[in-house]
Amino acid sequence: MSASMEQACMLCRREDADPDICGSTVERNGICAHEFCLRFAKRLCDQRSDTEAVMIFFVTDVRCMIEQAAQKHCFVCGESGASITCWEMDCDRSFHLPCAVEGECVTQFVAPYRAFCWEHRPQQAVEETPEDNNICLICLDPVGDKKSYSTLVCPACKHAWFHRGCLQGQAMSNGFTCFQCLICRDKDVFRPEMCTLGIRIPLSLPSWDSQAFAELNARHSRCDAWECFCLGGREQVEEEG
């Protein structure tokens, strides 16, 4: 087996999957798998004890799940290793987590980590449809003239439209505390519905809180003018103001 294959997830069999969707790679006791490939593996749900921060799986159960997944084929790409099965009763569609978006499936990134195929996925109850000139508030590109898997609307104000991919990127950047509708600023209705529709909202602080705008919180310590006229020198500061 090649070195690259050794690093591939043993469930979805991908090593270059989107970490925003599949999460970090867990390597333990000879098992290598993505965090959310493990969480969404339906056969592991009853055997596990986990929180948002800690996952505890029995190694024997994971190995059994890997063997079972090897016998199932993804209805999206046709390859084996499909460990995620639609939660709708009597539906036997299985798929890989990285194939979910392409197959228009919904994966809910909160316990009990349910997943649904394109036919049984939850739909928005909002009756509004986008107008001809409506744009995604994040990328500013058109959202089309009807609701679809790739188009989402704020359930609170019903005026803010987004592409699914754009909204997922916004959620990863903003984190749970700052993820809200860009127009009405609603969180109480907006966040639960986006979770139900398959948007992953990490329980983290916004990425820009300590990175992109960190310099705005820093107090400047010296004058940078080409010629400083302050009698006290470039380092002179007032006690107030």
Kindly list the domain boundaries of the chain, sorted by start residue.
3-116, 122-208
The 10s digit of each residue's pLDDT in 98-123 is 999 999 999 999 988 999 999 999 99
Look up the pTM and report it. Answer: 0.76
Please state, in angstroms and as integers, the Cα–Cα distance from residue 85 to each residue in 63, 127, 226, following that order.
17, 29, 66
How would CATH label the architecture of 122-208? 2-Layer Sandwich (3.30)
pLDDT given at position 98? 95
Within the chain, where are the H helices? 3-6, 19-22, 35-40, 59-69, 164-178, 190-196
Average pLDDT on 6-15 reads 83
Q: What is the pLDDT of residues 26-48, one digit of tens each?
A: 888 888 889 899 889 865 544 44
Query: Same topology for domains 3-116 and 122-208, yes or no?
Result: yes
CA distance 110 to 202: 10
Q: What is the predicted pLDDT for the residue at 53?
A: 42
Q: What does R_g of the chain's alpha carbons equal in angstroms? A: 23
| Class of the CATH domain delimited by 3-116 | alpha beta
Q: What is the DSSP letter of 157?
A: T
Higher pLDDT, 48 or 88: 88
Q: Which pLDDT score is estimated for 123? A: 93
Bridging pattern class, strands 106-107 and 115-116:
antiparallel
Distance, in Å, from the CA atom of 229 to the CA atom of 233, rounded to the nearest integer, reads 8
pLDDT of residue 220: 63
